[in-house]
Amino acid sequence: MNLAKRVQDLPPYLFAAISKKIAQKKAEGVDVISFAIGDPDLPTPPHILDSLVQAARDPANQGYPDSDGLPEYRKAVADWYKRRFGVAFDPDKEVLPLIGSKEGLGHIPLCFIDPGDVALVPDPGYPVYPVSVQLAGGTVHALPLTQEQDFLPDFDAVPADVANKAKLLFLNYPSNPTSAIADVAFFERAVAFAKQHDIVVVHDMAYSEIAYDEYVPPSFMEATGARDVGIEVHSLSKSYNMTGWRIGMAVGNADLIDALARVKSNLDSGIPNAIQRMAITALEGPQESIQENNAVYQRRRDTLVDAVRSAGLEVIPPKASLYLWCRLPDGMGSIDFAAKLLDDTGVVVTPGVGYGKHGEGYVRLSLTVPDDRLQEGIRRLKAWRAT
């Protein structure tokens, strides 16, 4: 049996490999504490769960959903964007429900990439970006993100021949894994670059509601001209602790939204209506849970920063996202570091090289660890030092 080359060339998904390693260590009797995966440990707010239970009992929600989603959900998304960012969208033409943001990001290259086309991808960045381009038959050109440049890409450094061939540009702020942030002025530079080279911008905004120290992340769509070139993907997963319910949205240019809708309608059957009703409750209901969650994450951030510094790592406390992006001592590889830390302490972190070659020399730690396990992990980190 011969697999398709696109499958043969696929790397193992980073977090699947980490989960297997954790399972192996647990089978060996190791008390593992994982800072590796950004899955909120805090529960979905009760009023959102109640709305799901009620909606699930309604026979109208028990059949196939429409692939373009409930009109009420699309309107709730448009209303939320207007309240949160001051940007108005037509819910019938500029909003599309997604089965989580990952699904949308994975399908977008199928809309715009033909075999041999180029996509500009941040490195380090979410592994779905390069893999989805690869599956579409495209070529990835990495945009190095360095600490010295505040983990923002330098568009002027993109070779002219590459820029002229590029069809897609992925951006992600607040960033996974670096936790970097971007302002509207940066997004406007991205718009100008995209217009100059006829490139579609895809902005992944999954972490916009996880922010600290009174910082408020902007939307790419606030930039002048963003709607002309861009599509923004968002998710309820992190904002409302809804990772298990798989629902998100894409907004932006009507032609780009239509292209994504056509791909999706041929490949999936939409989001269960009860979950869309649940998402409407999340977007339209009380928002206090977001601030409450952020207070928990900010407290964890502050205590974990101290611990990783005690272990000999450098870290800048993030203003947003769920992660610490920690710089290793010079000459230390991220895979070797993560393996040694796990063997010595039972603590799991994510090697930075898993996010691209420019992530080498870093590891990522997530703040989504229950407080009792967090404190034990901190105790272990403070008793151990990288050598």
Instruction: Say yes or no: 119 and 91 in one domain.
Output: yes
**Does 176 map to a domain?**
yes
CA angle in degrees (0–180, nearest 5) for 248-290-177: 65
Of 265, 224, 210, 240, which is closest to residue 99 (Cα–Cα)?
265
Instruction: Say yes or no: 230 and 314 in one domain.
Output: no
Number of Cβ within a 10 Å radius of residue 267: 12
Long-range contacts, stretch 37-41, CB < 8 angstroms, 24+ apart: 37/350, 37/366, 37/368, 38/176, 38/238, 38/322, 38/323, 38/366, 38/368, 39/243, 39/368, 40/237, 40/238, 40/241, 40/243, 40/293, 40/322, 40/368, 41/368, 41/369, 41/370
Quick one: pLDDT at residue 386? Answer: 66
- Is the distance from CB of 324 to CB of 87 less than 8 angstroms? no
**Does 201 map to a domain?**
yes
Report the interhelical angle of 46-56 vs 273-284 (nearest 10°): 150
User: How far apart (Å, rounded) are the C-alpha atoms in residues 55 and 62?
Assistant: 9
Phi-psi region of 65 (alpha: psi -120 to 50; beta: other; left: phi over 0): beta
Question: Average pLDDT per run of 10 along the chain, which is 387 residues long?
Answer: 86 74 86 93 98 97 94 98 98 98 97 96 97 96 98 98 97 98 98 98 98 98 98 97 97 98 94 98 97 98 95 96 96 91 94 96 97 96 81
Helix (H, G, I), strand (E, B) or coil at 314: strand
**177 cis-preceded (ω within 30 degrees of 0):** yes
Please say which residue of 267, 284, 301 terminates a domain: 284
Quick one: pLDDT at residue 113? Answer: 97
CATH number assigned to the domain comprising residue 314: 3.90.1150.10
- DSSP letters, 269-309, are ----HHHHHHHHHHHHS--HHHHHHHHHHHHHHHHHHHHHH
User: In the beta sheet, which residues pair with residue 133?
Assistant: none
Give the pTM: 0.96
**Does 222 map to a domain?**
yes
Q: In the 8-state DSSP scheme, what is residue 78?
A: H
Number of Cβ within a 10 Å radius of residue 310: 14
User: How far apart (Å, rounded) are the C-alpha atoms in residues 279 and 247?
Assistant: 7
Q: Is 373 exposed, middle or buried (0-12, 13-18, 19+ CB in 10 A)?
A: middle
- Is the distance from CB of 168 to CB of 109 less than 8 angstroms? yes
Quick one: pLDDT at residue 387? Answer: 57
Please say which residue of 250, 284, 318 terminates a domain: 284
Instruction: Say yes or no: 267 and 345 in one domain.
Output: no
Instruction: Say yes or no: 122 and 207 in one domain.
Output: yes
Instruction: Say yes or no: 55 and 200 in one domain.
Output: yes
Of 364, 326, 384, which is closest to residue 34 (Cα–Cα)?
364
Which domain covers residue 143, as residue numbers?
Answer: 46-284
**Does 152 map to a domain?**
yes
Instruction: Say yes or no: 264 and 168 in one domain.
Output: yes
Instruction: Say yes or no: 29 and 91 in one domain.
Output: no
User: How far apart (Å, rounded) are the C-alpha atoms in residues 350 and 88?
Assistant: 38
Please say which residue of 284, 302, 317 terminates a domain: 284
**Does 219 map to a domain?**
yes
Q: What is the maximum span of the chain, computed from C-alpha positions, in angstroms?
A: 61
**Does 387 map to a domain?**
no
Domain count, the chain: 2
User: In the beta sheet, which residues pair with residue 365?
Assistant: 324
Quick one: pLDDT at residue 22? Answer: 82
Instruction: Say yes or no: 34 and 114 in one domain.
Output: no
Instruction: Say yes or no: 337 and 190 in one domain.
Output: no
Exposure letters 226-259 (e unless 16+ CB within 10 A, then b): bbebbbbbbbbbbbbbbbebbbbbbbbbeebbeb
CATH number assigned to the domain comprising residue 189: 3.40.640.10
**Does 126 map to a domain?**
yes
Instruction: Say yes or no: 239 and 299 in one domain.
Output: no
Instruction: Say yes or no: 350 and 296 in one domain.
Output: yes
Instruction: Say yes or no: 176 and 249 in one domain.
Output: yes
